[in-house]
Structure 1
Amino acid sequence: MLFVLLVQAAVQLTIRAQGNLTSYGKASQSTLFGGSNPQGAILPPITNNYTVASCSTTNTAGAPKNAWWRFQFSFEFTFITEITIYYRKNYDYRMDGFKLYVTNTTTIPPVGYLCYEDSDPGLPNITQNIPCNQLGKYVIYYDDKGDVETNTGPVVELCYVEIIGCEKGMWETNCSESCSSVCIDQHCHPGNGSCVWGCDEQQCLNKKWDKQTGVCTEGCVNETSRICNCTNCTSVF
């Protein structure tokens, strides 16, 4: 039983090793409905219950072709591992067909990594936990479908958004540790510190390494590296 508890604790530590990054940046959206504010989606309460003041709501008037909510990080680049969305209660039909992107530009329609697209039959769950594992500057919630039954154009009604990850180059609890210098571009996974793109060949003796395994074939420049050494130098993805 003690072993099981220790394993569970270790798993929880790995999951919680990153932080919610929504306090490090600012939100914007395509239009504003009433007294709505895009920042409402990143401030408590954590709930699907709707008020104009506490949720991000775009305008329903004017038959818009698309609607979007965007978060811009204050860091140059951020590694996002997962995003949790709380949409407005009882309005799942307005969420139908949404897309979630991580991008490096503000272009609309978004041009970047598509973390998720709602394409399943039926209406989506109003609470979504979406894995992403992507490096970028922006998170964009995007909708260009609208609701055909009520003849309503695309609308965004986000009551809370949590973005989990770390600034590029950081990992561990609350992103408190720097990634190993032997990682290519000092880029590592926020949860465990392993090199995402493999090891920098400059850290291998004579710059010799196996591109398939990431192993330094003639040894490492720094044998004492905690994260990326001669036998642990592979890409996470």
Structure 2
Amino acid sequence: MLFGLIIQTSVMLTVTAQHNLTPTGTATQSSSYRWGFKPRYAINPPISNSFSRHICSHTYPSGSTTPAWWMFELSFDSAYITDIIIYYRVGFAYRMDGFKLYVTNTATIPPDGYLCYEDPDPGYPNITQTIPCNHLGKYVIYYDTYGDDKQGPIVELCYVAINGCQKTFWGINCETPCDEHCVERHCYPGNGSCVLGCIGNCLNGNCKTDSAICIDGCKTGWTGTHCNKSCSTGRYGKDCLEECSENCLNPPCNHVTGECISGCNNGWLGFNCSQKCPNGQFGILCSKFCNGCIL
């Protein structure tokens, strides 16, 4: 039974990024078969399953159980990869059987990273597949440990497109910067929503994933749509509704707690300078004592 085209169903990505990252990197493979069949041919047009030594990659038949692999490395640090499109050699689906697809941050073989897809059994896979990954990495590795008894694992990729955007950018052409309030400025290529959440002081840590605007309001002492502004001078507390004590020295008070940062005016004590000096005392921190006064 052939497995059909895999369709992206994630609700997180309302728009699929169409930017192919393969022009911005290099391809390698475990071995090359005779003349031609270079790994870079898999990232060059035509977009087809047609096979020739100047169109497709082809690893050497080892005749053993030695794994065969094809690897793409980005020219920059990392990208958020939304999906990978594969065109395998026509008529040779049995050589795809059991393949795995990884997105990783290292060129380690066997791959050490995110397993994006593993071909299931029974039956041979479709030679044309669009595989959703939705993961951040620097390398894409097609990895095969199957193969037949005579020739061992073989990779024959005629075209590969790796869609996504360089980290911190999104959009069809990956030209729109992720919102500065996204953690690590990391967002989904399809809609710009924050992958790791929002920077700032959102109440309950909740923010709109497409704009990083706080949903439930701000933590105590913070204001603004992104809750990145402290209360204005003289105010503190939830929604900055509280006024600092008039008995605070300047600056008036902590914007979160209301504590008088620089201390109290003469004759006052306490966390927010709301306590008068006890009878018989006066001055800064009530440190002076009355002398000769009738109580």
1:209 aligns with 2:210: no
Q: What is residue 48 of structure 1 aligned with on the other side?
A: 49
Match runs of 1:9-48 below 5 Å = 14-15=15-16, 17-34=17-34, 35-48=36-49
1:161-213 C-alpha deviation (Å, 9 max, x unpaired): 0000000000012101000010000000000000011101xx22xxx5314x4
Q: Secondary structure at the match of 2:83?
A: strand
Q: What is residue 72 of structure 1 aligned with on the other side?
A: 73
Instruction: Please report how far the alpha carbon of residue 53 of structure 1 lies from its aligned counterpart in structure 2 after TM superposition.
Output: 1.2
Instruction: Please report how far the alpha carbon of residue 50 of structure 1 lies from its aligned counterpart in structure 2 after TM superposition.
Output: 0.4
1: distance between equivalents of 2:65 and 2:158?
A: 21
Give the share of equivalent positions with the same residue, in percent.
53
Change (3 A) 1:36 1:224: same
2: distance between equivalents of 1:168 and 1:43?
A: 24
1:121-163 C-alpha deviation (Å, 9 max, x unpaired): 0111000110000000100000011124xx3200000000000
Match runs of 1:1-237 below 5 Å = 14-15=15-16, 17-34=17-34, 35-63=36-64, 65-148=66-149, 151-200=150-199, 203-204=200-201, 208-211=202-205, 213-214=206-207, 215=215, 217-218=217-218, 222-223=224-225
RMSD value, Cα? 1.9
Instruction: Please report how far the alpha carbon of residue 52 of structure 1 lies from its aligned counterpart in structure 2 after TM superposition.
Output: 1.1
- What TM-score comes out, normalization by structure 2 length? 0.65
With 60-69 and 122-131 compared, the bigger mean Cα shift is at 60-69
Paired residue total: 204
Instruction: Please report how far the alpha carbon of residue 75 of structure 1 lies from its aligned counterpart in structure 2 after TM superposition.
Output: 1.4
- The one-letter amino acid of 1:161's match is V
2: distance between equivalents of 1:90 and 1:97?
A: 16
- The one-letter amino acid of 1:162's match is A
Contact 2:103–2:116 under 8 Å retained in 1: yes
2: distance between equivalents of 1:111 and 1:121?
A: 26
Change (3 A) 1:70 1:53: same
With 59-68 and 170-179 compared, the bigger mean Cα shift is at 59-68
Q: Secondary structure at the match of 1:156?
A: coil
More helix by share: 1
- The one-letter amino acid of 2:32's match is L
- The one-letter amino acid of 2:121's match is D
2: distance between equivalents of 1:154 and 1:92?
A: 12
1: distance between equivalents of 2:38 and 2:224?
A: 50
- What TM-score comes out, normalization by structure 1 length? 0.81
- The one-letter amino acid of 2:163's match is I
Higher relative contact order (Cα pairs below 8 Å, separated by 6+ residues):
1
What 5-or-longer segments of structure 1 have no aligned partner?
A: 1-12, 226-237
Contact 1:18–1:190 under 8 Å retained in 2: no
Q: Secondary structure at the match of 1:210?
A: helix
Instruction: Please report how far the alpha carbon of residue 62 of structure 1 lies from its aligned counterpart in structure 2 after TM superposition.
Output: 4.7
Ranges of 4+ aligned residues in structure 1 off by more than 6 Å: none
Instruction: Please report how far the alpha carbon of residue 216 of structure 1 lies from its aligned counterpart in structure 2 after TM superposition.
Output: 5.7
- The one-letter amino acid of 2:83's match is E
1: distance between equivalents of 2:119 and 2:55?
A: 24
Instruction: Please report how far the alpha carbon of residue 36 of structure 1 lies from its aligned counterpart in structure 2 after TM superposition.
Output: 1.5
1:96-128 C-alpha deviation (Å, 9 max, x unpaired): 000000001111110100000012201110001
Instruction: Please report how far the alpha carbon of residue 222 of structure 1 lies from its aligned counterpart in structure 2 after TM superposition.
Output: 5.0
- The one-letter amino acid of 2:27's match is A
Q: What is residue 229 of structure 1 aligned with on the other side?
A: none
Change (3 A) 1:146 1:62: closer
